[in-house]
Amino acid sequence: MVGCGGAHVTPSVFILGGTGFIGREVVTQAVVHGFEVKALARSDEAQARLRALGAEPIAGDAETPDAWREQLRGADVLIDLLQPKFPKRLTRRAVATMSVHRQRFTAGLLEAITALPEAERPLLFCVSGAEDLQPDQRGRITAASPLRSNARAFSAIGVPVRRLIEGSGVDATYVYFGALVYGPGKAFAEVIVDGLRKHRARVVGSGSNRLPLVHVSDAAGALVHLAGLPRDQVASRAFLATDGSATTQRDLLNLTAELMGRKHPGAVPAWLAALVAGRVAAESITLDAHDDPSALRETGFAFGFPSPREGVPESLERLGELAQAHG
């Protein structure tokens, strides 16, 4: 980042959710790139983990931003990666409850930001999923796509949160990840990989839907890259941080199975998956959209894993599940 007079200024970021699956990767990459990194931590254990990654842990509870508001003063970027705890079944009712809680939290966060002098407020990075965006007639989504008017999957959370931020007057950047952020953790490891190992994983529906995807390393890398750009280049803009590979759900599961040395999984109807896992879970994995991340690429960002054919082998190797070389 370049300051007045052309002098180099070390970027500073404050991270919420820095010990999570994506957050750990963001902290790691930001530290490697020379950022000053602060991250909120509620427990002593979380503080120790953040310190080991090279971040300065800030003791506090995300639900009470007034208690740590002063730590935001002068930070360049505030990256919100907090994730709610998911119930076993992701029903519409469960997600509606999560949405109310998330909007309440966001309102408190916005109040904390606006309590600071305008010149000392961080740029808020609001992170959500590709299901918030409405595909065009060709099924394509871009950074310029409008928000969905009818809720699908987790858009019942992401869309009202964005509307809340837009109406607050707080400077913000909106970053959209894939319907699945894959890598050595979370849903990819706990549902897909573990499910294939235990012969429980199934393709939902036909599996022909183009599933917006991004490797966790690229998801984190996109945030760090954008955080290092001049504020006027990213404020009030949206970016789609997905690989654009147009990989289908079936292709992803079959590739993962092959690399694990397992049989291709069978399929179940979407209605049955909705009964078992909840309607929102079924809607998320069957999302069909051809994602176009050109706006992100135009800022100079390059994907380290441009498709699952590069990213899945790396993920499985880190999980100790890679059974064969990827040819």
Question: pLDDT tens, 247-256?
Answer: 999 999 999 9
What pLDDT sits at residue 1? 55
- Assess if residue 277 is contained within a domain: no
Section 223-251 average pLDDT:
98
Section 63-78 average pLDDT:
96
What pLDDT sits at residue 216? 99
Give pTM, 2 decimals.
0.95
Tokens of 192: 């897909």
For residue 235, give the CATH number of its domain: 3.40.50.720
Taking a C-beta distance cutoff of 8 angstroms, is the pair 252, 211 a contact?
yes
228: containing domain: 7-181+215-242+290-304
- Assess if residue 18 is contained within a domain: yes
Residue 150 phi, psi (nearest 5): -110, 125
Section 194-198 average pLDDT:
97
pLDDT of 325 higher than 60: no
Section 254-270 average pLDDT:
98
Section 230-258 average pLDDT:
98
- Assess if residue 188 is contained within a domain: no
What pLDDT sits at residue 7? 44
What pLDDT sits at residue 6? 45
Give me the number of domains the chain comprises.
Answer: 1
Could you tell me which residues come within 8 angstroms of residue 184 by beta carbon, excluding any fewer than 6 positions away?
A: 216, 315, 318, 319
What pLDDT sits at residue 10? 84
Tokens of 255: 């590739």
Section 53-76 average pLDDT:
96
**Residue 324 confidence class, pLDDT cut points 50, 70, 90:** low
- Assess if residue 209 is contained within a domain: no
- Assess if residue 145 is contained within a domain: yes
Section 132-145 average pLDDT:
98
DSSP-assigned beta bridge partners for residue 2: 8
- Assess if residue 143 is contained within a domain: yes
pLDDT of 326 higher than 90: no
**Residue 265 confidence class, pLDDT cut points 50, 70, 90:** very high
Percent of the chain residues topping a pLDDT of 90:
94
What pLDDT sits at residue 8? 47
- Assess if residue 312 is contained within a domain: no
Q: How far is CA 75 from the centre of its chain?
A: 21
